Amino acid sequence: MTEPLFRADPYLAAAAAQVLAHTADGGLILDRTVFYPQGGGQPGDSGAVDWEGGHLDIATAVKGEGAAVALVPVAGAELPPVGATVMQRLDWQRRYLHMRVHTALHLLSVVIPRPVTGGAIGAGTGRLDFDLPDPPADRAALEAALAELVGRDLAVTEDWIDEAGLDARPGLVKTMSVQPPRGQGRVRLVRIGSGSGQVDLQPCGGTHVARTGEIGRIRIARIENKGRQNRRVAIALDDATPPGS
């Protein structure tokens, strides 16, 4: 089992940990990690791991067996020994862009209140696919609605619901293609706003910014037809600089 430090504090960019195991395909299992594993449309984090006498670049993170998170190194890299104490560090610029885009996509699902058929998150860009007969006609109106929600600087918080409670409130689940994970007794919810100012509440396991004001200006990059009833809306953050550029 890997303690998911990113769950309690998505802004934690570095932390010490102990190596628990190596996977059969060359991954690294730590007892605790700041690396978010790929899932729910959000890419796995990248970064590095250092230990006495060694350094390892991490290409991504994925879900391992049970509750483990496996860090995937660059090809051919030497792993730290089992039992070693290491310092793990995120590529923070990339992670923070993922957080801003992920929260922005939740806002997009607010201003286009239709079932979501798919989605993807990138470093400064993202998209949602909607079950929608006709594409949104007014791009400027969408951008204005998003800007209003960003400008309100709404708090982004988490809550939990048991599986029976979620079954009783099926409207919380916006995604048609991916259902919340079951089997652990409860499901994490991400809430935007609070009280009478709440604008969104839906199951989500990803990392988010603490307030919508951190997102910045959201631009509608393109709107595409992806089938008879499927419309893809892509967004971009105006001030985002892709990592490594």
CATH number for the domain whose boundaries are 95-237: 3.30.980.10
> What residue ranges of the chain are covered by domains with CATH 2.40.30.130?
3-90
Per-residue pLDDT, 244: 47
* Architecture of the 3-90 domain: Beta Barrel (2.40)
Beta 116-121 vs 85-90: how paired, if at all?
unpaired
Per-residue pLDDT, 177: 66
CA atoms within 13 A on the CB side of 181: 12
Per-residue pLDDT, 124: 96
Distance CA 237, CA 104 (A): 9
Per-residue pLDDT, 37: 96
Per-residue pLDDT, 241: 60
Per-residue pLDDT, 40: 87
Rounded percentage of the chain residues whose pLDDT exceeds 70: 94
- Provide the pLDDT confidence category of residue 178 given band limits of 50, 70 and 90: low
Does residue 51 register a pLDDT over 90? yes
Higher pLDDT, 163 or 47: 47
Per-residue pLDDT, 166: 86
Question: 43-57, 115-129, 169-183: which has the minimum mean pLDDT?
Answer: 169-183
Contacts of 206 (CB under 8 A, 6+ apart): 36, 39, 40, 41, 42, 98, 102, 121, 190
pLDDT tens digits for 66-91? Answer: 889 999 999 878 999 999 999 999 99
On the 0-12 / 13-18 / 19+ scale of CB atoms within 10 A, 89 is middle
pLDDT tens digits for 182-235? Answer: 667 788 999 999 999 999 999 999 999 999 999 999 999 999 998 888 999 999
- Mean pLDDT, residues 15-28: 95
> What residue ranges of the chain are covered by domains with CATH 3.30.980.10?
95-237
Distance CA 111, CA 113 (A): 6
CB contact at 8 A, 217 and 149: no
Per-residue pLDDT, 48: 97
